[in-house]
A and B are shown apart, each in its own frame.
Chain A
Amino acid sequence: MLPTAANGIFGALVLGLGRALGETMALAMLVGNSNQITLSLFSPANTLAALLALNFPEAGVKETQVLMYAAVMLLIITLVVNVIGQAIITFSGSQRGQK
């Protein structure tokens, strides 16, 4: 059963990853919103989506431009992940159709 469904499961996994990448509010409340890169997993950090959520309401013109750039990056990353996930699911579906 598992080998047959592997493609679909893997596709769903990638789509789930895409959702988690873009998840905003849960992280905005918990991640700590600190703009630093540390090796420690337990120090405050930031994610693209949380950065947008926390800084956009008070952004000036210049900051808005920077945040728009962050938004584009987030869009590209999630889009790539989602397209890969979709492709895996469609591919496995069509393969089964041929058999």
Chain B
Amino acid sequence: MNQARATRNSTADTFVLPDLKRSMWDRRSLKSGILNVGTWAAAILACIPLFSVLIMLIIRGGARMSLSALTELPPTAFELGGGFGNAIVGTVVMVGIASLISVPLGIMAAVFLAEFGPDSMIAEVTRFCAKTLTGLPSILAGVFAYAAVVMTTGTYSAPAGGIALALLMVPTVILTAEESMKMVPRIMKEAAVGMGCTKTQVVWKVVLPTAMPGVITGVILAVARAAGETAPLLFTALFSNYWLIQAGKLDVMQPTASLAVLIYNFSGMPFENQIELAWAASLVLVFIVLLLNLVSRAISQRHS
């Protein structure tokens, strides 16, 4: 209506509305269109590595997958058959040790960061350290554990590998746990304080249970990352062709096999059998990590 009046009121009869349709071949819209397609292509390209790796692993690793591969000991040079049972056990043991160290430590630190002194100097420094530590090259965790544990105890061992992995897990656990504790509604905490709870009771009975799904998600992600790490284990746990339990006696203070190191060692060997086993072990490892990731997603989605 306004437009019509404007046209009528204008002194010259030549007033015309500009063309409101934008031509597709206009320079501006052409550029926009090309960039639009570009972002789509980039988003799809980003998915390709995951799927190509998965397909490759399923084809090459699936060929060798069998019960004996999952339960037997690694083969020696020209031996046929064999498996990587001790490596699965070793990975589980070392990730278990790492979790025992990093989870309580990480959660307690997160409680401090989120509840006791969120704005204190210590909290700022801790947060900064944790963030920087997430970018720590994993090999340096191995060097640290080598110097701190292997050199002092005099032997490559499962605890040394566990400590190296714990070093990589702690920052992830701290940061995710802190985030999920911050999400606990203030009202709930204030209600608990109003009931006469001490600070510890508030944390123990209100904050921790409410934040638990988020905390567990963080722990699972940290575990998934640790399970796939090779570099920290190379010279802390080394590798072994034998079970941790020998002659009915459990001895963790000895070189320990792990899936990641087995893949690394065997893939470089000139024997067909070992290379096939490395593929199968990769499939198992990727399957475990993927499963852990999916579980953590399920937990965090169900509770949010």
Contact mask B227-242 → A, CB, 8 Å, 1/0? 0001100110010000
Please, how many residues of chain A have a CB less than 8 angstroms from a CB on the other chain?
27
Q: Flag whether A6 is at the interface (Cβ < 8 A).
A: no
Q: Flag whether B191 is at the interface (Cβ < 8 A).
A: no
Give the contact stretch, choosing among B42-50, B60-68, B90-98, B135-143: B135-143
Q: How far is the CB of A20 from chain B (nearest CB, A)?
A: 10
Given A49-B231, A71-B143, check contact A57 B238 (CB 8 Å): yes
B137 touches which of A21, A56, A57, A67 (Cβ 8 Å): A21
A53 touches which of B147, B234, B238, B267 (Cβ 8 Å): B234
Q: By DSSP majority rule, is chain A's interface helix, strand, loop, or mixed?
A: helix
Q: How far is the CB of B123 from chain A (nearest CB, A)?
A: 14
Complex CA gap A65/B131 in Å reads: 29
Complex CA gap A15/B136 in Å reads: 10
Contact mask B124-138 → A, CB, 8 Å, 1/0? 000010011001111
Q: How many A-B residue pairs have CB under 8 A?
A: 68
Residues of B within 8 A of A67 (CB): 143
Q: How far is the CB of A73 from chain B (nearest CB, A)?
A: 11
Complex CA gap A49/B229 in Å reads: 14
Beta-carbon contact of A49 and B132 below 8 Å: no
Q: How far is the CB of A72 from chain B (nearest CB, A)?
A: 9
Taking CB atoms and an 8 Å cut-off, the chain A residues in 40-99 that contact chain B are: 49, 52-53, 56-57, 67-68, 71, 74-75, 78-79, 81-83, 85-86
Residues of A within 8 A of B138 (CB): 22, 24
Given A57-B234, A86-B128, check contact A68 B147 (CB 8 Å): yes
Q: Flag whether B146 is at the interface (Cβ < 8 A).
A: yes
Question: Which A residues are closer than 8 A to B by beta carbons?
Answer: 15, 18-19, 21-25, 28-29, 49, 52-53, 56-57, 67-68, 71, 74-75, 78-79, 81-83, 85-86
Q: What are the nearest 8 A-B pairs in CB distance?
A: A22-B137, A24-B231, A82-B135, A24-B139, A56-B235, A71-B143, A18-B135, A25-B230
Question: Which B residues are closer than 8 A to A by beta carbons?
Answer: 128, 131-132, 135-140, 142-143, 146-147, 230-231, 234-235, 238, 260, 264, 267-268
